[in-house]
Amino acid sequence: MTAPALAPDQITIADREAAFAATFCPKLGMIGCSLRHEGEELLDQGAGLSAYAEQGSTFALPFLHPWANRVSAWSFDLGARRVRLAEDSPIVHRDAATATAIHGLLAASKHWQVIDAGADTLTAELDFGAVPQYLAAFPFPHVVRYTATLAGASLTVTITVQASADVAVPVSFGFHPYLTLPGSDRRDWWIELPVASRALLDERMLPTGERVSIAPGELDGPLADRTFDTSFPELHGERPAFVLADERRRVTLTHAGGYPVSQVYAPERSQFICFEPMTAPVNALVSGDGLRWVAPGERFTAIFAISAGKP
């Protein structure tokens, strides 16, 4: 059964018994527009879908590919190929504060094709190698499959990258979920961060190569007035679970496989916090640190889940 369309190109999957629903817009980068629990929105809406479509402004639940965070150079060798990113390209987002390329090439991409849409599952694909503009910037042909499945009060997102030509494909994608708890103030939010180390950063917010170890539970506690724009290249446990909670609700983002790295983002006075599952450390495409590759004809899969329940 095809899921109902809320508006042109928006598709919702839902579990009515659990009062949990997720909405996506395949024709705008497969952006996760909404995640609602018991009628309340768990993804910060920022400037909204229109701003995302027109400016690439991130909000809600964007997919960041083929890199999730900053890269230090606009031109660099990657394997046997040269990556050349044009600073004036409409598909390359330039971080004004650091003058680096950030968040990949697929913001508001119109090249996703829906493969299957059901009451509780949505699958879409993007043939990266079939889009000349993408391949000119990142010369590694591949196909990305995005599957969102909702069961109970849990959304599972599975990304599979298949190398579609005779060249290996580097893996450095991630997500940027803007999580929020409606009806409460961020100073009263409780967070749990299962992080094992913090990367030291330079003036452009790029890792220096040095790390500071973090004990289990060391950063757990009230968010209060704490701020984060922090890279955590090592995590505790096989399925690290990041938690955001208040007196009414507990939201958990679990790295279920393929995401060994996290970025946490909560700027001053923000009414959201981002627990960002990443397949490689910041700047891995240039540094090679922790970078994995998909061999020709092979696949790489990464999975995370967001669930909601009582505290």
- pLDDT score, position 8: 53
Is it the case that residue 58 has pLDDT exceeding 90? no
Q: Report helix, strand or coil for 285.
A: helix
81: confidence class by pLDDT, cuts 50, 70, 90: very high
Is it the case that residue 2 has pLDDT exceeding 50? no
> Average pLDDT in the 278-296 region?
98
53: confidence class by pLDDT, cuts 50, 70, 90: confident
> Average pLDDT in the 137-145 region?
98
Is it the case that residue 107 has pLDDT exceeding 80? yes
54: confidence class by pLDDT, cuts 50, 70, 90: confident
- pLDDT score, position 6: 42
Which residues does residue 81 pair with via DSSP β-bridges, in sequence order? 78
Q: Nearest-5° angle of CA 260, CA 283, CA 228?
A: 70
What is the spatial distance between Cα 38 and Cα 21, in angstroms, rounded to a whole number?
9
Residue ranges in the chain assigned as alpha helix (H): 49-55, 132-137, 284-287
- Contact between 280 and 62 under an 8 Å Cβ cutoff? The reply is no
Is it the case that residue 125 has pLDDT exceeding 50? yes
What is the spatial distance between Cα 105 and Cα 83, in angstroms, rounded to a whole number?
13
Q: What share of the chain is helix, strand, coil (3-state, %, to 5)?
A: 10, 45, 45
Side-chain half-sphere of 59: how many Cα atoms within 13 Å? 22
Widest distance between CA atoms in the chain:
53
- pLDDT score, position 5: 38
> Average pLDDT in the 179-184 region?
97
52: confidence class by pLDDT, cuts 50, 70, 90: confident
Preceding peptide of 66 cis, ω within 30°: yes
- Residue 116: which of 160, 146, 77 has the closest Cα? 146
Which residues does residue 174 pair with via DSSP β-bridges, in sequence order? 64, 278
- Domains of the chain, each with CATH number or no CATH: 11-69+106-126+143-309 (2.70.98.10)
What is the spatial distance between Cα 90 and Cα 135, in angstroms, rounded to a whole number?
14
- Residue 143: which of 118, 121, 123 has the closest Cα? 123
- Contact between 233 and 194 under an 8 Å Cβ cutoff? The reply is no
**Proportion of the chain above pLDDT 70, given as a percent:** 97
Is it the case that residue 132 has pLDDT exceeding 80? yes
User: How many other C-beta atoms lie within 10 A of the C-beta of residue 7?
Assistant: 10
- pLDDT score, position 50: 87
Burial of 65 per CB tally in 10 Å (0-12, 13-18, 19+): buried
- Contact between 78 and 170 under an 8 Å Cβ cutoff? The reply is yes
- Contact between 226 and 266 under an 8 Å Cβ cutoff? The reply is yes
